[in-house]
Chains A and B, each alone.
Chain A
Amino acid sequence: MTTCSRFRNANNISRRFDVKESKSEGHPYIPNSVKSVQESMMTDIGIRNIEELYRSIPLSLRLNRLLDLPKPFSSELELKRHITTILSRNRTCEEFISFLGGGCSRHYVPAICDEINQRSEFLTAYAGEPYEDHGRFQSLFEYQSLMAELLDLEVVNVPTYDWSQAASTVIRMAGRITDRDEIIIADTISPGRRAVIRNYCHPVMKIDFCKHDPETGLLDLSDLESKFTSRTAGIYFENPGYLGPIETQGESAARIAHAQGGLCLVGVDPVSLGILEPPGDYGADIVCGDIQPLGMHMHYGGGLAGFIATRDKKEFVMEFPSRLFGIARTSVEGEYGFGDVAYDRTSFGMREAGKEFVGTHSALWGITAAVYLSLLGPEGMEKLARTILERSLYAQNRINEVACLRSPLFTAPHFKEFVVDFNGTGLSVSEINRRLRKRGIFGGKDLSRGFEDFSGCALYCVTEMHTKTDIDRLADALNDICSRGVDDET
């Protein structure tokens, strides 16, 4: 793109919002923009103008003009109005009844979760020492500990970016632990996650896929057994799977992997663990998933954060790339201190010789999940999961009552998500969803893109947020839409 067209772009922004020119000197975010202060500092440095400080940058590398950006807003009020105007073009899941899930789902966020994560102390802290940032270390240690109880495992990391990163890392960990470079993945994982894993593993590890049973939606164990060899580092599957079924054969899958000296790697929706057996208890060696359901808003996908958990075995712990905060004694008896466990495994300590890489990931969401789990406790987690199970089951049945629809597509038990088959309607999922939007509903995710086996199907997600009225409204709307069939709607 040429500079000229960039100029036009910038002007586009200005024109669209009629931005006024700012005339005043100084800026509220830049205290030392005061000229007299600058002059006094320059005197101390022994320079006459700030340009002298840039002498090391050759003129040939300089941008000899001002950046061609829109004129800024000179007041907070105008800035707020500008951005609010843009954002108001979004339609939200509060205005619509949304049945979208597939890795990011709408759960209730207790008020205290937001109260804590907007605290300046947490929001604007970063990489302080365990002294002045004791609270950051303790709250993340508590996050690790609370997750460990939910997962029934001993070691949990400071959160990574998201589930897909966690799954990718779990696979690489398995490769290092077993010293093998092949992995088998359930072919029902999401296309997005598949793409992240593929990029993260390529070219170091080879990926093969385990088929699913088209009737149940569960792992095809005979396919897994035939593909799992002494070169395979492990099997990665999710429970409940992306398409909704609860994988009931986890123990058998783990046995197949272990028989060949490989590992069993399981991704799990933590909100299901109030009622579902944690994967570690049916043989999983490494467990991962996303904590977004535990107190995070969806934020257009920005609320995701991945977890990784193992047993307390040195050969597993030493393969984590993430920070692991540990509890320790201090010079005062009975006082809790915290710090990094096995720091020298990380890339901060070892650069390319460290385990993968660590950096800024999603710590604030870990603190938020700690608040969430402390609020819900064992009873709350169980009740929540039961409510989701009931509502989802109710929705599956109600949709199945609509002529031409099949719900759920698979015969296995489901937890919160399920596939609805629209192939009998003569309408595409995209058309169904368009008509649902007109009725104030966001229909399930269209699986036609990236999941060719499920063309004409959609993934529906039901949580504690959906009332009976919401679900009935969906079923009635689908009934109406399907009964009209291909006739165009006004």
Chain B
Amino acid sequence: MMKHKKPETTVRNFHQAKWDEPIVFELHTAGEKGIGIPESEPGIKKAVGNAMDSIPKHMQRRRPPALPEISQMRVLKHFLRLSQHCLGADFNIDIGQGTCTMKYSPKIHEELIRSTHVAEIHPDQHEETVQGALEIIYLLDLCLREISGLDRFSFQPGGGAAAILAMTSIIHRYHELKGEADVRDEIITTIFSHPSDAAAAAVKGYKVITLYPEEDGLPSVEALRAAVSKHTAGLLITNPEDTGIFNPRIHEFTDIVHRAGGLCGYDQANANGILGITRAREADFDMSFFNLHKTFSSPHGCGGPATGALGVKGYLEHYLPIPLVSLEEDVYRLKHDLKHSIGKVRDFMGVFPVLVRAYAWIMSLGGEGLKEAARVAVLNNNYLLEKIKKITGAEAPYAKDRHRIEQVRYSWRKLTDETGVTTEDITCRLADFGLHLWSSHHPFIVPQPFTIEPTESYSKKELDEYLDALRHVVKEAYCDPDLIKSSPHRSVVHKIDPSSFDDPEKWAITWRQHLKKHGGSI
């Protein structure tokens, strides 16, 4: 039975849409058609004859693809229903996905990027026909130079991890040109920096040294000193780290790595609380990147398309991916002659619509507005911290009684010990209230972790609603843990049986595999 909303709480009497929608293949009816396809004009057909004769028989498809045949409105309805089975940031009070900066993505941006002047331009058009696109890229570069204190940006990386790979590639190329690439084969990072900092370094063949936090939540200067050596190629680090704790000794970190001959790359995925407050330059980083789909408002699109805007100090400009955009006598040009360039990290110029949105966002806020966004994000975060640490069973490990920047990695350890209810259980239960809670990246250094980042986009009333939901669930954990353990009850689906996911005999990554392995029954 559905519980009714109590007047003293803002906990919502929510139920997600549940259409019980089949898999798209189950909608198939032979002969149905979703869309008409243009045929060649008779003049073309007459001129070319049977064009299929130009293709050798063995290269002609023997069996048509077993795609479903579905009429147009049913396809529309299917995907609209699936969309309703999804809680975007526009619906959710999306503060439960820490490290991901789920802020408001203004709708005017969507109108702009759907214009033909963005959607219908080809990346190989002549420069003179894409002056508008090049101008946006150029102006965004200028803005991000000021916001970071660095000297030149490339927008080619298609996300944060791609930007990390690009930074690592620059580090490698830099040492290679000095003849030291073979010796300098180690990258240092921290456990509370994004997993991609470690993973992308490994893609470039580096050994990864990971620093762990001391009691204050931060890696120590001494640990870094012990880690650097003649093998150090560079440092890839987030600050504030995923705990929301700012490392005040970050300049000492970059100094130590520089003295050892390494380069310092700043993962600015967590930049939202420090815009206009502190920058890569002040901490003497050689390069950094911003996630334009996080800090600069571009929507996350269920996981991209995105942009990791990569900035470097002047002396590394020639290492950036090609091409860059330059302004020569009032004409924007593509600049290909970068003598040490790492080449390319993505086809063409990157994800242009994301750049339009980021530029529009900056132009909606200006210097003062960016700082205000950061300050409010931090205010919101510390307001939540103050309230959450008073919730029974919740803790905020490290840096006790200190303020955090834009997010906090909390722990339900105590709650789990006392009730058996885990973070995973709570994430399931919160879905019953139209809310999302994320645990954290692995490994779970903080036991039973959950990470909250409120950004500047949510009102105090919304933050209070989220808090009420957390309190409500905690109360349930102590009174009726089974209610949580069997949740969700008012979401689209019920408890998922994960047993097939790690079993090669049972996993089904596609419908045809599912039919083959399970005969279509679930």
Contact = CB atoms under 8 A, between A and B. Distances in A.
Contacts of B105: 123-124
Nearest to A312: B513
Given A330-B496, A378-B67, A54 B277 contact: yes
B110 A130 contact: no
A246 B86 contact: no
A437 B127 CA distance: 12
Q: Report the contact-size class of chain B (Cβ under 8 Å from the partner).
A: 35 or more
A226 interface: no
Contact of B501 (A40, A96, A343, A357): A343
Interface string A390-409: 11011001000000000000
A46 B383 CA distance: 10
B61 A57 contact: no
A351 interface: yes
Contacts of A464: 37-38
B272 to A, nearest CB: 12
Given A331-B486, A442-B125, A69 B366 contact: yes
Interface string A1-34: 1000010011011000000001000010111110
Contacts of A150: 65, 67
Interface in A228-279: 246, 248, 251, 273-278
Given A121-B87, A123-B110, A442-B129, A390 B51 contact: yes
B513 A165 contact: no
A32 B376 contact: yes
Given A30-B376, A129-B427, A394 B497 contact: no
Contact of B369 (A27, A300, A332): A27
B145 A6 contact: yes
Contacts of B56: 248, 413
B146 A357 contact: no
A477 interface: no
Nearest to B356: A83
A301 B348 contact: yes
Given A30-B373, A135-B84, A330-B496, A154 B302 contact: no
A102 B124 contact: yes
A206 to B, nearest CB: 12
A126 B200 CA distance: 21
B265 interface: no
B132 A1 contact: no
B37 A387 contact: yes
B198 A83 contact: no
A420 B249 CA distance: 60
A484 B348 CA distance: 34
A358 to B, nearest CB: 7
Query: Among the interface residues B34, B90, B130, B435, which one has the most CB atoms of the partner chain A within 10 A?
Result: B34
A359 B196 contact: yes
B39 A383 contact: yes
A330 B375 contact: no
A70 B363 CA distance: 7
B130 A363 contact: no
B506 to A, nearest CB: 9
A434 B127 CA distance: 11
A106 B366 CA distance: 36
A317 B512 CA distance: 16
Contact of A326 (B203, B352, B508): B508
B204 A13 contact: no
28 contacts: A44-B387, A72-B366, A87-B118, A96-B129, A104-B122, A118-B114, A122-B86, A127-B97, A130-B493, A132-B434, A133-B86, A141-B510, A142-B511, A150-B65, A154-B512, A297-B120, A301-B348, A304-B346, A328-B496, A336-B493, A351-B199, A354-B199, A356-B203, A373-B67, A374-B68, A375-B70, A377-B33, A464-B38
Given A54-B378, A364-B301, 8 more contacts: A32-B376, A57-B248, A79-B108, A145-B512, A300-B133, A301-B352, A331-B494, A367-B302
